Amino acid sequence: MTKPVILTGIRANEEPTIGNYLGAIAPLVQMQKLNAGDFQINMFVPDLHSFTTPVNHKTLYQNTLNNLKYFIASGLDINNPDTYIYRQSYISAHSELTWILDCFTYFGEMSRMTQFKEKSSEHCESVTVGLFNYPVLMAADILLYGAKYVPVGEDQFQHLEIARDIATRFNNKFGEIFVVPEATKTQTQFIQRDHGLRIRSLTDPTKKMSKSSDDKKSKILLIDNPDEAAKKIMSATTDSVGSVHFDWENQPGITSLLQILALLTGRKQHEVIQEWEGCTSYGEFKTAVADAVKNFLTDFQEKYNSISDEQLLAKLEQSERDLTPVANAMLLKAQQAVGLRPKRQTVSHIIHPAGGLNNSNSESNFSDGGISDDTSTTENLIMDTDNKPDAGDIMCETV
């Protein structure tokens, strides 16, 4: 891959909120449209991250597909040859690299992660090691593909910096193995914001709008009934200042609504602020925001409901076939650096773990040339006695 990589994803635990849309989905779609051909976009479902907090295991697989539909409904062109859509758990290098990175990450720096402190206090009876450790898995997600840009909300800035620290530490010890992602300031400038997006809870604007919150009135989901969503806006907690100002410190609720209004109507933030600055009617202001939310959800849900699972699966399986060799090549570099693999070993062929083999090729030569049935040479390491590698095996050559 020679093009800079943009990487993003949304967990499949819960339905995404309008905050997820504005903070991650919409910027990615916009970047694809504005930078067609200049970047590679890796859009994945981090389904392994789903286990860090309570999850409905019966619906997780379908939720994975549904989350991808949100991106397509938002305008992401999945037929773009520079766009890859994949599931984290279908590329095993994510998990393998995580363990290596774990051993170069310090307990002290992980214990300082603000989001862990917040989420562990919410689920104090079921805090897992996975919740504590998931920023390292996030680092593996980024470093496997050499991603330079990772559009994230402000709450993820700490985790992005940890990924940078881990990559830098590893490189300092073993050489230039990983691409270090850009710093958070550069990231936010790249996605055309001079600060992190801060869509706040509708009931407690000192906190972010969270899709995992048990308070249904605190969030607007992309699947919410448009009329009910409008009612949530009208009842949103604001302040006692008495007039509209863009002021995160004193009026976080009003300021968050100003951001929502600007982004959903496609207007510049400063234009919306100028229009409503000093308005003394919170009801009038909220009505404008509620109308924008209602109109957006009505249009969005119509597009979402028109997308079938079949449209997604073909793209998923192709992307996973394409990216598995890339991820395994980076994993091998890390394994060689730490002494787990000999320097002479190279990845020559990887078979898709989800069963990407073509039946017509399973008995003889594979069409992409990485494996041959020719057993006259010992240079190929064959993984089973029938010379037919299992799905997911890595074929290695001595060079």
347: left (phi over 0), alpha (psi -120 to 50) or beta: beta
Q: Is 58 annotated as catalytic? A: no
Task: Report residue 360 as tokens.
Answer: 């017509």
What are φ and ψ of residue 394, in 5° steps? -105, 125
Whether 230 contacts 264, CB under 8 Å:
no
Q: Given 69, 119, 148, 232, which residue is catalytic?
A: 119
* Long-range Cβ contacts of 158-166 (<8 Å, 24+ apart): 158/113, 158/114, 158/115, 159/113, 159/115, 159/135, 160/184, 160/187, 162/105, 162/109, 162/110, 162/113, 162/135, 162/136, 163/135, 163/138, 163/139, 165/109, 166/101, 166/104, 166/105, 166/136, 166/139
Task: Report residue 348 as tokens.
Answer: 């020559």
Q: Is 211 annotated as catalytic? A: yes
Whether 223 contacts 14, CB under 8 Å:
no
In the beta sheet, which residues pair with residue 305?
Answer: none
Gap between the Cα atoms of 290 and 254, Å rounded? 13
> What length is written for the chain?
399
DSSP per-residue letters across 353-369? TTT---GGGTTS--TTS
Spatial CA neighbour of 340 closest among 96, 91, 88: 96
What are φ and ψ of residue 148, in 5° steps? -90, -30
Give the sign of the dihedral formed by CA 193, CA 196, CA 202, CA 205.
Answer: negative
Gap between the Cα atoms of 399 and 397, Å rounded? 6
Q: Is 208 annotated as catalytic? A: yes
Q: Given 69, 148, 208, 232, which residue is catalytic?
A: 208
Q: Is 112 helix (H, G, I), strand (E, B) or coil?
A: coil
Active site residues: 119, 208, 211
